Structure 1
Amino acid sequence: MRRKMILCLAFGGSVVSTLTSMAGERPCYESAEAGQHLNQDVCIRAHVYDVVELADGTRFLDVCSPETTDAACHFTIVSLRQDRKGVGALDPLHGQEIEIRGTVHSFADRSGIVLSDVRQLHGGAEKFRPNPALLKGFSAEDGKTAFEDPAFRSGGHHHKTNAGVP
């Protein structure tokens, strides 16, 4: 009897553990479905048919079969030259099934993900890039904040008080 109870608890625990881990995982969509997830951070599954490098160092993972025309290919993975150190070699991905996590962007007539860090191939996040417009005029040396909030300006708007009103 005790042995049956231990087996039931062990089996039940493994089922709960499996369900919990499955609930925490995000689904991984096929590359053909990527366009339905624009501006979303998702996992995309694709087969890498080729790795193409342009003269400027930009690299593309070609995820459309050789039979698919360029016009009919609606998804791409691009890695910029400045991200080469964080991404590493892409040639070993040739002929492999991959899962990549990132924000799906719209590039003219197709959707795509920017591969900026190798961790994206293992479920990790993209490389953080600060918005340069928000950092305009920011310098750590001058002690000013990185943004302008009118509430923190001296002078300007004065608040009325109701002092002396009956």
Structure 2
Amino acid sequence: MSPLRLFALFAIGPALAATACLAGTRRCYAPEDAAAMAGKEICLAAHVYDVVTAEDGTRYLDVCRPGTSMEGCRFTVVSMAADRNDVGPIDGLKEQDVHVRGTVHALRGESIMLLSHARQLHDGPEKFRPNPELISGFAAGSGATAFRDPALSARKHKNTSVFAGYPEH
């Protein structure tokens, strides 16, 4: 066997095998287990028993077995009305087994996962929401930066130049 084939067999082969073994093995948690994972991004494996739409347009995926009391149901998947276009229709998820990727949030003794984009149903990330505290007062059309950077301040570096002392042409 040539040295190149031996290298491929012993060096590259195990790496490829490990990658193939790890691909698609993301662990998904049942709602009962996911409720204890506040603040973590996980994959939720659940059966959707019902899809409920509130008056304000917020949609809820009921992942608790029928007959479970409100106190006994500690996990809900919520899709806000503002995300309706990004999530799309979800009524077809009723009576389906789903995998939803997202961050578990604790809310008044319950746990929720926000369904903000359809890609979450296919192991994709949630919709990015910028922190409003970081961009307060920022307008894209103004030409200003979104934050105050002292290095860009003209006052701080007044009369300093890498060309100071050189004659002008």
Q: TM-score range by the shorter chain?
A: 0.7 to 0.9
Shift of 1:91: 1.1
Aligned to 2:19: 20
Q: CA deviation at 1:37?
A: 1.8
The answer on whether the counterparts of 1:34 and 1:112 sit within 8 Å (CA) in structure 2 is no
Q: Do 1:46 and 1:97's aligned partners in 2 also have CA atoms closer than 8 Å?
A: yes
Query: Displaced runs of 4+ in structure 1, greater than 3 A?
Result: 149-157
Return the alpha-carbon distance in structure 1 between the equivalents of residues 50 and 44 of structure 2: 17
Listed as ranges, the matches of 1:66-81 within 5 Å are 66-81=66-81
Q: Which residue is 1:143 aligned to?
A: 143
> Matched residue of 1:32: which SS?
helix
Query: Partner residue of 2:166?
Result: none
Give 1:17-56 correspondences, 5 Å limit.
17=17, 19-24=18-23, 25-56=25-56
TM value normalised by structure 1: 0.78
How far residue 137 of structure 1 moved from its aligned partner, in angstroms, is 1.2
Give SS of 2:83's match. Answer: helix
Structure 1: stretches of 5+ with no match in the other structure? 1-8, 158-166
How many residue pairs get aligned? The number is 144
Task: Give the Å deviation of 1:123.
Answer: 0.4
Report the more deviating stretch, 53-62 or 36-45. 36-45
Structure 1 counterpart of 2:130: 130
For residue 141 of structure 1, give the secondary structure of its aligned residue in structure 2.
Answer: helix
CA distance in 2, matches of 1:117, 1:44: 15
Distance 2:98 2:58 in 1: 19
Residue in 2 that maps onto 1:160: none
Higher normalized helix content (fraction of residues): 1
Query: Residues 9-42 of structure 1: CA distance to partner in whole angstroms, max 9, x if unpaired?
Result: 9xxx8xx64x523424421111111123211111
Structure 2, unpaired ranges of 5+: 1-8, 158-169
Q: Deviations over 1:98-127 (max 9, x none)?
A: 110001111111111100111101100111
Question: TM (normalized to structure 2)?
Answer: 0.76
SS in 2 for 1:86: helix
CA RMSD, Structure 1 to Structure 2 (Å): 2.3
- Deviation at 1:151? 4.9
Moved more, 115-124 or 126-135: 126-135
Shift in alpha-carbon separation, 1:119–1:111, aligned structure 2, 3 A:
same
- Once the two structures are superposed, what CA deviation does each residue of 1:35-67 show, in whole Å capped at 9, x if it has no partner? 232111110111101100001100000000112
Distance in 1, Cα, partners of 2:72 & 2:149 = 48
Structure 2 residue identity aligned to 1:33 = D
**CA-CA distance at 1:82 after TM superposition:** 1.0
In the alignment, structure 1 residue 87 sits paired with structure 2 residue 87:
yes
Q: Which residue of 2 aligns with 1:113?
A: 113
**CA shift for structure 1 position 77:** 0.2
